[in-house]
Structure 1
Amino acid sequence: MHSLYKLLLLCSGSLLITACSPTVKIAPPDKPIEINLNVKIEHEIIIKIDKELDILLENEELF
């Protein structure tokens, strides 16, 4: 009779442990994902030319 109580206690304990186990759900969001990219791009180009090359380009009128 004592073993019956142990068996009953063991079964009820195992049911309680499995009933409280956490679950993880992965579901897509209801709304689409929105990414706002407010980017301001500024750039500065600096060209340095040797004086001799600058004079050559002015005289030859390549452009």
Structure 2
Amino acid sequence: MKDTNRMAILRNPWGQMAVLGLATALLGGCVTVTAPDKPIVINLNINIKQEVVYRLDGKAKEVIDENAEIF
């Protein structure tokens, strides 16, 4: 017996995919992408600060003070 019901196509997985593809094609919109007229400007204000902390032991400080001309 042949199934003459109109919903028979939806019982078949291939029919479901066909209906889904048709609906997507008919209801899908068109997307257009255009470049802006003016260039895109990105302002980056970056401020980098570095703090160096050092300690010398007493003997090293004496050597530096004695030989200041080479440092």
**What band does the TM-score fall into relative to the shorter chain?**
0.5 to 0.7
Consecutive unaligned residues in structure 1, runs of 5 or more: 1-13
Q: Give the TM-score of the pair, scaled to structure 1.
A: 0.54
Percent identity of paired positions between Structure 1 and Structure 2: 30
- Quick one: which of 54, 59, 63 aligns to 1:47? 54
Amino acid at match of 2:57: D
Aligned residues: 47
Q: Which runs of 4+ in 1 moved over 3 A?
A: none
Q: Give the TM-score of the pair, scaled to structure 2.
A: 0.50
Ranked by relative contact order (alpha carbons within 8 Å, sequence separation 6 or more), the top structure is 2
Cα deviation per residue 1:6-58 (whole Å; 9 max; x = unaligned)?
A: xxxxxxxx7xx73x430111221121111011222222122221211111111
Consecutive unaligned residues in structure 2, runs of 5 or more: 1-21
